[in-house]
């Protein structure tokens, strides 16, 4: 039985003045113990967020593959752990696009995170051009082939399917398209890691909101959501946690 996970990604948003949103989101998560919730905040907020909400999971949005060294501007897994992060996103399409990260980088980052006990949310997803050319399935399968870390296990790894064209655009695939891609991902994972793939959570991400969460989260093989814009305030994020909790209670 896979518990639903509602994960927020604050991207390059959030100042100390927004910590009260984290407190409110943590309180909502506490009120809905049927589901898991977490927030991946900017590095500068990790320690403060972990301090004000000690029972709530705080994560980061990227990690370097090395533990230390001459890598100006980067951050390592031990640093994230020391700051209070419990989870990290790797392979987000904005990292791939803005920083030329490849699936090989994603693989190495996931391995580094795991070495230091961080849970990992590994992202995949096709561009609009790839989608329109009918190449989405092949692209996503190849991203998983190249980036799935050694020893991948549902105990610490979650997959997020995020079509790039759906991120921050208000556009989403149809529910059938989401179901098809998640089934393909599940089959791919089964081929790579065997039956434990049945326990691995596969999140959908891309323009998830309070308005569409209930229908998306009810799709087969959708085990939660990775939420950007709608995770920035409790007012927008809590309804998504509530939608997940309702589905969990009905199951
Ligand atoms: P969005 O972003 O919810 O703002 O579309 C999702 C993501 O990039 O994780």
C-beta 162 within 6 A of ligand 1: yes
- pLDDT at position 123 is 98
Residue 160 CA: which ligand 1 atom is closest?
A: 9
| Residue pLDDT, tens place only, 225-240 | 999 999 999 999 999 9
Ligand 1 centroid from CA 198, angstroms: 25
3-state helix, strand, coil in the chain (%, to 5): 50, 15, 35
DSSP 110-157: HHHHHHTT-EEEEEE---HHHHHTT-HHHHHHHHHHHHPPTT--TTTE
Number of Cβ atoms within 10 Å of the Cβ of 191: 12
How many Å apart are CA 162 and CA 136, to the nearest integer?
Answer: 11
Nearest to 142 by CA among 130, 129, 154: 130
Q: Chain-wide mean pLDDT for the chain?
A: 98
Measured from the CB, is residue 227 less than 6 Å from ligand 1?
yes
Query: Nearest C-alpha to atom 7 of ligand 1 is from which residue?
Result: 228
pLDDT tens, 2-47?
Answer: 999 999 999 999 999 999 999 999 999 999 999 999 999 999 999 9
Cα 70 to middle of ligand 1, angstroms: 31
Query: Whose C-alpha lies nearest to ligand 1, atom 1?
Result: 228
- Report the pLDDT value the prediction gives residue 25, as an integer from 0 to 100: 98
36 lines ligand 1 (CB under 6 A): no
Q: In the predicted model, is pLDDT for residue 1 greater than 90?
A: no
Which residues, 6+ apart, have CB-to-CB distance to 100 below 8 Å?
Answer: none
pLDDT confidence of residue 251: 83
Ligand 1: nearest atom to the Cα of 205: 6
Separation of CA 69 and ligand 1 centre (Å): 31
Query: Any bridge partners for residue 170, and if so which?
Result: none
**Residues 6+ away with beta carbon under 8 Å from 195:** none
Query: What is the average per-residue pLDDT within 42-62?
Result: 98
């Amino acid at each position: 039985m896979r518990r639903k996970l509602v994960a927020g990604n604050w991207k390059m948003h959030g100042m100390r003045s927004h910590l009260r949103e984290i407190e409110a989101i943590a309180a909502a998560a506490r009120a809905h113990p049927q589901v898991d919730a977490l927030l991946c905040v900017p590095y500068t907020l990790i320690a403060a967020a972990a301090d004000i909400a000690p029972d709530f999971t705080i994560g980061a949005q990227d990690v370097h593959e090395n533990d230390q060294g001459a890598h100006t501007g980067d951050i390592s897994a031990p640093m994230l752990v020391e700051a209070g992060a419990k989870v990290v996103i790797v392979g987000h399409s904005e990292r791939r696009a803005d920083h030329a990260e490849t699936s090989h980088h994603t693989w190495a980052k996931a391995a580094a995170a795991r070495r230091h006990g961080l849970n990992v949310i590994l992202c995949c997803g096709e561009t609009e051009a790839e989608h329109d050319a009918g190449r989405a399935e092949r692209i996503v399968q190849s991203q998983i082939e190249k980036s799935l870390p050694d020893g991948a296990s549902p105990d610490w790894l979650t997959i997020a399917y995020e079509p790039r064209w759906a991120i921050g655009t208000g556009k989403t695939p149809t529910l059938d398209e989401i179901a098809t891609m998640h089934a393909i991902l599940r089959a791919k994972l089964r081929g790579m890691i065997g039956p434990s793939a049945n326990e691995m959570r596969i999140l959908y991400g891309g323009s998830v909101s309070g308005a569409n969460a209930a229908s998306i989260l009810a799709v087969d093989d959708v085990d939660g959501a990775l939420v950007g814009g709608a995770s920035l305030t409790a007012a927008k994020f809590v309804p998504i946690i509530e939608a997940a909790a309702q589905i969990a209670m009905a199951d």
